[in-house]
Structure 1
Amino acid sequence: MKIAQRMENLSPSVTMAITALGRELKAQGRDILSFSAGEPDFDTPDVVKNAAIKAIKDGFTKYTAVEGITETKQAIIKKLKKDHGLNYEPAHIVISNGAKHSLFNLCQVLIEEADEVIIPAPYWVTYPEQVKFSGGVPVFIETDDSSDFKITAKQLKEAITPKTKAMILNTPSNPSGAVYSREELEEIAEVLKGTDILVWSDEMYEKIMYDGKEFTAAASISEDMYQRTITINGLSKAVAMTGWRFGYIATPKVEIVKAMTKLQGQVTSNINSITQHAAIPALQGDADADIEMMRKEFEKRRNIAVESFNAIKGLSCVSPQGAFYLFVNIKEISSDSMKFAADLLEEKGVAVVPGLAFGMEGYFRFSFATDLVSIQEGIKRIKDFIEK
């Protein structure tokens, strides 16, 4: 038996692999502290759980419309209007099995052989893999600490070619926590004017912002950006609903929605009917107090972790404005982030994700979406590892 050739071009998720290895070592009795997975340590808010229980008791356990039930789509529409002043209709929304599934569907229906997709680096590990799997070509724009890991309008302009089909924006960013300001997004929008380039704006971490900063949705910049932007979002991170698998896209381009619905209808059909009902209170603001409680705790952890890492000789990290990751610079210590991460796990039982997985050597990603005691112990072990 021969596995299909297209699978040869698809790399496994390094974050998932390291998370799995950490769990395996822990099961073997090793003392493992894992900072590899982007998963809040908080439980899903009760208001969401209760909505799910009610849905089960009320018998909402059957197939639904492929692209999602009307009630949940209306909740998404109201949320986007309330938070960002954006106007959408039910025909503009597709609900999928997490934002990763939304992105996969998007790639499959839009990317053809040799189409180029601009991806700022560091990037979420899944972006280039899904583009390549769809026959497209990832075009990377490099950033670093000095730019807070954000691209400039000038860099974007230089990366555009006649083959450019789309660009991916991830704000706040996984893995760097970088957040694009309204002014920065306006400059990007100016470069894109007059082109047919689509903006795929992954806004999964929009509710996890720090230092009093306000989040700006890409589609809210201008009418031109609204028309070209496909917003990708979900509830996994901000509402601690990773296992529920709820993601969605919003775009005024109905033809994209129809194509994604057609594809999803032949692959997964609707997402879990219970999850769709459970998502409604989270989307309409009933879990906002829980979200704010988690955000405040993440900010507290961030402050302690950033200060602790920057106190270690040879390490440095930019304080992220959003999400719950630190992208730690190890260039003074090692030029091989894969070996650094492997040795750290073996010698100190600390799991982090090498920067190479995100397209940038000389860094590692450290998730602070776990308890403060573990964070402090993990950083202590990293300090010991470097000093010895």
Structure 2
Amino acid sequence: MTFEFNTATRIIFGAGTVKQAGSLAVKKGNRALVVTGSHIERAGFLLEDIKKHGIKTTCFQVSQEPDTDLAFSGADLARKEGCNMVIGFGGGSVMDTGKVIAALLTNKGDLSDYLEIIGKGMQIKHAPAPYIAIPTTAGTGAEVTKNAVLESLEHKIKVSMRSPMMVPCIAIVDPELTYTMPKKIIAATGLDALTQLMEAYVSVKATPITDAFACEGLNRAACSIWLAYEVPNDSEARENMCLASLLGGLALSNGGLGAVHGLAAPLGGMYKIPHGIVCARLLPYVMEANVNALKRLLPESQALARYNAIARILIGKKEAQAHEGIAWIKNLCSTLNIPPLSEFGLKKDDFPLLALSSQKSSSMKGNPIALTNKEITDILEKSI
């Protein structure tokens, strides 16, 4: 048995831990690019704390899922302002944009040199500028992953820049920062976390370490995702979802993903669909396709046994089988009002191109069984 495990140098978790940001940042640099979401005022208290520690700040806003042009402009701004560190405060889009900016601050060349699929896929040579990641949503786990997902507007696909060195040096996960999330964001990010935990658990790249994180995260998400959605002031549920997201990030970064994320890349590039919505809508149908293919072709596979284990975790029934877990997820998506992808303009005419593009995704390499183009097309048909 041989494997590696890579993650942030330091992870700080718990209510109120964001108050440590300034004292931690001052040890990393004296001029920070602070990457935020579209509502910069939400980061006001953080900016004040950073400034109190003598750090000069420049803000860069990410108001949408990031594309290559946005990330490059952020890096250009950081260079012009003489920034020697990056602080990300926001959702997954902010986390990923911050990673790219930090990497480009210390590595020369065009961004496309480092992108997978559409670029050269080169590895960065130098450690990125220090990056402190502070998530305000509970879903992507991007604060502890080694890749950043960017949309290429030219190629109409989402691609990754990836390196073990891109993992933030410090991740501060404060559940209190998620209390103001709208319900639709709670639903989308929560199901994204659930998807990542499942895909990492059944991935062909799973390890004993990622298994432990995935199972713990699944247990916490299963009992808390509905409560986090329906009962806004349930602090335990919010804490569990933040931890599930963090554990999902740790698991996927080291154990890989699967067909949900393999399809999410071209879907997110061709249509303006929030990543969490894509994952939520595809999840039960990818589970169904995988389980059916495994039963037909690899009935004794470990992955099929793992889908049964997932069902037992989700439902809390000792003898639960995979099909019951799929039904549970379908019901959850309905309860959380996940819309069909047709609402975002998905057309059947694009199914062949989407199926072909998804097969090139790095996430597909982790899927427990190779799905045919027809099986992928069937998944898209059900999601529409």
Same fold by TM-score greater than 0.5 = no
Into which bin does the TM-score normalised by the smaller protein fall? 0.3 to 0.5
The TM-score with structure 2 as length reference comes to 0.33
Specify which structure has the higher proportion of helix.
2
The TM-score with structure 1 as length reference comes to 0.32
